[in-house]
Each structure stands twice: as structure tokens, then as C-alpha cells.
Amino acid sequence: MRKVFVLAAVLPLLLTACGGSDDGGSSGTKKVVYIQGMSGIPFYQTVACGATEQAKKDGIEFSYQGASEWDVAKQTQIVNAVVAGKPDAIMISVTDTKAMIGPLARAKAAGIPIIGIDDNVQDDSIMDTFIQSDSIEGGKLAGRKMGELLKGTGEVMALNNTPGTPIGDARVEGFKQGIAEFPGIKFLGVQYTQNATAKAANIASTTAGSNKKLSGIFGVTTNNTEGAVTGIREAGKTGQIKVIGYDTSDPIVEALKNGGADALVVQYPFGEGKQGIVSAQKIWKGESVPKKQTSPFVVATKENLNTPEVQEYIYKMTCS
């Protein structure tokens, strides 16, 4: 069983837990801290599981934490506290690609390598490397799958967090490119949910009730997909309106099993976590590390869900 070292997102405790000497700890053991975009999100938890496994294998001290909300100010507080603890590297999934430039610039000025997970900041000089799947390509896979499921005809919409988020917008753009291969499919546009499952459910239910031609919803993130599944169920149209999600959670996987969802584009966060630890070691040794490193996908369906290939990608809330 993989063991995870958890730090609570409480700053005083954090300062104690991450505190160390200037050389990364009196024991000489290197320390890496992963700052999640938000705690309790399966993607980030699975990144931590992968990093934990690789760190244990390589004799590196690893810990992780995240704010309980998707909040730039709270993530900034955590970054500042982690920097004060003088780790040997920071892995981070940023909540805002612009607002996090300042806090991470201070970390870089302190001599701490920065490894991005799932995104980069808008100042390309800050991160030593970032590991990210191609969101356009992932969205395109979702669009093509939607076209196949609808046999090339129907009206579809997307649920995204907020306008202007690079990853979400790229996934939507890829989705539009994918369904463009099916001229009989009409794209109704994007509605925004502030990453709130309840709001996504309300939008899905309301739209399903008001538009009898609605035949598919693309959930751009975990909470949007969970909301779409709930909303379509509440509208009494499970199975009639297709739901394709991006990323997984236990409820989404269960929905895939029982027909509430039809397909999922799944990234490889476990691999990204491992890759982050490997990258930190290369940086410490002065070895070349590409600025951008990519991560693969798999498209999960009810039929292939239990195959070893797909199970390797499924996100987990506990490491095992």
C-alpha cells in the first residue's frame, strides 16, 4: 500500500511541518512539497499518490497540501508558508496563471525549483518545467466520441468553470474541433458554473427541460461532469442525453458503470506526480529538463473501464 504524508492546510502547522535547514533538512534528505489547486479533488490527490510512490522509491521526503477552496489568496498564503520552510523543490497546480506569478517568483528568487503540474503561469521564466496533457487534444477526443455516440446528429453544449481559464477554454476549443467532424451536430455554446456541482446540475436540468433537442453535454471538469449527470437524472433523461466528462471521480466512475455517463476523457495524474519527482532530481543534478512535458490520455467507457490499461488512469482519493 502506498503511504501518503499529509499536511493540513493550516499555516502554523505547515510552517512546523515543512521547516528545515538551508540545505533541505539536517538529515540531508531532499524535500519536495506539492501544492494542490484545491484539496479533495481526485486529480490532485492522484498526482500526490504518484509522487509519493516515486519519492519513496528514490529516498525523497514528500508532502502535499491544498486549500479547501479554489482561491488565489489562500493558495498564495500556502506558497508563502512553504517557501519559508525552504524545501528543495515545489510542485504546484496553480489556481490562476497570472495571479500566482508573484508568489512563485519569490519562491524562485529563494532558489527553489518550481515544477508545474497541469499548467504553467503566464511568465514563462518562473517554472523550471511544467507537466501537462494537451487540453486541445483531450477536448477533441471528447468531441469525436460525442459525434460517434450521437451517430453524427444532435445538439450539444458544454459546462465550464469560468470564462478565460486557459485549460477549460482549450478543452472546449478541442471539443468544438472534434464535433466539427460531424456536420449534423450543432454546438449550443458554453455555460459557466464557477466549478460548482449544484450549479452545473441546475443548468443541465433546466436546459434539458427547455430544449427537447438537447442530446449531449460535455463536462469540462470533474464538478461539471458530476453536475451534468445529476441534472440529466433529475430531468428524467438519463440515457437519452449523452454525458461525456473530462477527468474522473468515484461518483463519475459509478455513473459510467450505471449509464449516467457515457464516456470520460481521462488524464494520467499518477504519472504526472511521478514525473514531477523525477524532474526535481534532474534539476538538482543540473541535467536538462524540457520546459514543457506532456502526459497521455485514455477514453474510458463502460465497456473498457475494468481493463488494466484504463484502470491505470482512473483517479483515486486514497493511494493503494
Q: pLDDT digit string (tens) for 129-148?
A: 999 999 999 999 999 999 99
CA within 13 Å, CB half, 2? 24
What is the phi/psi pair of residue 45, to 5°?
-65, -40
Give residue 22's pLDDT: 37
What does the radius of gyration of the chain's CA atoms come to, in whole angstroms? 20
Q: Read off the pLDDT band of 316 (50, 70, 90).
A: confident
> Residues near 282 by Cβ (< 8 Å), separated by ≥ 6?
288, 289
Q: pLDDT digit string (tens) for 151-203?
A: 999 999 999 998 888 889 999 999 999 999 999 999 999 999 998 999 999 99
Contact assessment for residue 53 and residue 2, using Cβ atoms and an 8 Å cutoff: yes
Pairing of strands 298-300, 263-266: antiparallel
- State the pTM of this model: 0.77
Percentage of residues of the chain with pLDDT beyond 90: 81
**Amino acid present at 173:** E
| Mean pLDDT value of segment 78-102 | 96
